Amino acid sequence: MTSGPLDAITDVPGVRVGHWTNRRAATGCTAVLMPDDGAVGGVAVRGGAPGTRETDLLQPGRLVQRMNAVLLAGGSVFGLDAASGVTQYLDECGIGLRFGGHTIPVVPAAILFDLDIGRADRRPTAISGYRAARAAKGGRVAQGSVGAGTGATVAKAAGAERSLKGGLGTASERLTLSADDGGPAAEGGEHGFTVGALLAVNAIGDIVDPTNGRRVAGPRGKAGRFQDGEALLRAGARPAEGSTTLAVVATNAALSKEQANRLASVCHDGFARAIRPAHGMSDGDIVFVGATGEVDVGALAGHAYRALESLAVRAVEQAILRAVREATGLAGVPSAAEWAAKGRRRRRT
């Protein structure tokens, strides 16, 4: 088990990422394009306040099997307009579902609430989504305060005035299996799969590293320290309103629609382990899954699918941590790294 060469969702062949960022307004959007023939889609919504488009199409029992892209955006419900721009771009490229003699791009979308930072009257539009899709490429992915993570904030249990910057992060995990593990061996006697995650992290909860339990971000306390947001909530603190963490998980495994939806559900374990608490009534937490179908996991030994679930959860956790660690302060909200550094300077003086 290792991360992919880029440690990004773009380690999955054919997946491309593009951002549109407005730092002055502190908002943006991110387009995740699947290979031209699409990817089998799944979705799991766990938050109590989701803002979405075309998620019903991804449920089992629906006509549509494959999606062509996913759009993540700030701007609250207004940001859903950006998905129309991604649809337009794919239409110009001739990419989409063949239906009734036409090509219909399938672009599910979800939004997060960032209207309380920067300028609330500037939101992603269809033009923003078009530009993000046109900019999409493989290779390294810009992270931190970019795209859908531009206006994201975290650690809001003590109110917006003590929050820290969230952001956008990505990570990948790769598992190579020998022929002895079961299933048809690939060239060289090995086969395996890659799973990547991309998240826009905008959470009420604290950000915690699941590997060691250390708090990466919590409400701003004295001298650059982090408070315990969960303890504050239990004591009756009033958190800031409006939060959502959005995830796109891609894999080169061949999954059925039912398996893709199941994987999306399991990926929420990564939210719960790295964001504390997650999935609240005012959160719109959601995971999209796209399976490109290069590797037949079902033909491998049964433990291979369980490994895929475990690696997907880990990729989600790592992308959450990276989103916050790579973020930079914006619109008067410092990043976790900046706040901690400020505290160290104070203690030295």
Report pLDDT digits (tens) over 247-275.
999 999 999 999 999 999 999 999 999 99
Residue 2 lies in a domain: no
CA angle in degrees (0–180, nearest 5) for 24-26-31: 115
Q: Which amino acid is at 32?
A: V
Pairwise pLDDT comparison (177 vs 35), residue with the higher score: 35
- What was the pLDDT predicted at 175? 87
Residue in the block written with tokens 């959160």: 283
Domain enclosing residue 120, as ranges: 9-348
Among 37-46, 96-105, 185-194, 235-244, which stretch is predicted with the lowest mean pLDDT? 185-194
User: Would residue 124 count as lying in a domain?
Assistant: yes
Burial 245-258 (b: 16+ CB within 10 A, else e): bbbbbbbbbbbebe
Q: 264 by DSSP, 3-state: which?
A: helix
Query: Could you tell me the two tokens for 199?
Result: 């998240």
Does position 94 have pLDDT exceeding 70, yes or no? Answer: yes
Q: Which two tokens stand for residue 147?
A: 């795209």
Residue 210 is given by DSSP the state T
The 10s digit of each residue's pLDDT in 218-230 is 999 998 899 999 9
Whether 48 and 60 have beta carbons less than 8 Å apart is answered as no
288-339 pLDDT, tens digit each = 999 999 988 765 556 788 889 999 999 999 999 999 999 999 999 999 999 9
Judge whether 283 and 245 are in contact, CB under 8 Å: yes
* Residues 271/44, Cβ–Cβ less than 8 Å: no
pTM of the model: 0.94
Residue tagged 């291979």 (tokens): 304
Q: Does any domain span residue 4?
A: no
pLDDT tens digit string along 47-84? 999 999 999 999 999 999 999 999 999 999 999 999 99
Residue 173, judged by CB atoms within 10 A of its CB (0-12, 13-18, 19+), counts as: buried
CATH number of the domain encompassing residue 80: 3.60.70.12
Residue-wise DSSP of 18-62: EEEEETTTTEEEEEEEPPTT-EEEEEEE-SSS--EES-GGGSTTS
In which order are the strands placed within the sheet that holds 69-73?
Answer: 16-22, 27-33, 69-73, 109-111, 52-53
Two tokens, residue 67: 């999606």
Alpha carbon 28 to chain centroid, angstroms: 14
Task: Tally the domains of the chain.
Answer: 1
Q: Is residue 3 part of a domain?
A: no
φ and ψ at 317, to 5 degrees?
-55, -50
| Direct distance between the N- and C-terminal alpha carbons of the chain, in angstroms, rounded to an integer | 45
| pLDDT single digits (tens) 167-209 | 999 999 998 766 555 444 433 344 689 999 999 999 999 999 9
pLDDT at 188: 36
Q: Which of 138, 146, 127, 123 is nearest to 88 (CA)?
A: 127
Q: Evaluate whether residue 320 is within a structural domain.
A: yes
pLDDT of 348 above 60:
no
Contact 204, 166 (CB under 8 A): no
Residue 1 falls inside a structural domain? no
Residue 313 corresponds to which amino acid?
Answer: V
* CA-based nearest residue to 149, from 18, 15, 270, 29: 29
pLDDT digits (tens, 9 = 90+) for 135-169: 999 999 999 999 999 999 999 999 999 999 999 99
Q: How many CB atoms lie within 10 A of CB 331?
A: 19
Residue 157 lies in a domain: yes
